[in-house]
Structure 1
Amino acid sequence: MIRARWEWALDDVEGRELTVPSPVFTTQYDAEQWLGEHWRELSAGGAVLARLLNDGTQATPGVRLPAA
């Protein structure tokens, strides 16, 4: 059985993808919970938009990260 891979792509204010690695999750729920717990530190590191990817394809609209 092949499990889906969920991970976050993070963009800066200019729309460039940051090289911050995201953990890989087996469920969308786990990925979203992780973002909810870590958005402040990601925002402090320059991320303004988080895009949830499912096996490399954007699965949901991007999530704006408020300034930390």
Structure 2
Amino acid sequence: MNLPEQPSTFRPPTESERPWWWRLENAAGEEVRVEGHLGTERFSNQSDAESWVGEVFAELAAEGVDAVTLFELERRVYGPMSLHP
């Protein structure tokens, strides 16, 4: 028996549905891997991505992240942007 594709509410969103993401970087500009939701968040628009980083920047810094760079799919939008004052 073939079942229809799961509705979007029951499957993870695709990259094309949430193309915005942050590259997390250390002071040398190397990518930092962070466990859990902080390392895997993706967003449907730039505003949501920017709001999120504004809310969690202290948590990211505590995980060893020094800067972030915003991407839309593979296109670098801006950054790196320091998480330090």
Task: Give the gaps of 5 or more residues in structure 1.
Answer: none
Does the aligned pair in 2 maintain the 1:9–1:22 contact within 8 Å?
Answer: no
- Relative to the length of structure 2, the TM-score reads 0.69
What percentage of aligned pairs have identical amino acids? 30
Question: Could you tell me how far 1:5 is from its partner in structure 2?
Answer: 0.4
4+ residue segments displaced more than 3 Å: none
Does the aligned pair in 1 maintain the 2:18–2:42 contact within 8 Å?
Answer: no
Higher relative contact order (CA 8 A, sep 6+): 1
| Number of residue pairs aligned between Structure 1 and Structure 2 | 66
Report the 3-state secondary structure (helix = DSSP H, G, I; strand = E; otherwise coil) of the residue aligned with 1:24.
coil
Question: Could you tell me how far 1:4 is from its partner in structure 2?
Answer: 5.7
Larger Rg: 2
Report the 3-state secondary structure (helix = DSSP H, G, I; strand = E; otherwise coil) of the residue aligned with 1:9.
strand
- Relative to the length of structure 1, the TM-score reads 0.84
Q: CA RMSD in A?
A: 1.6
Task: Give the gaps of 5 or more residues in structure 2.
Answer: 1-15
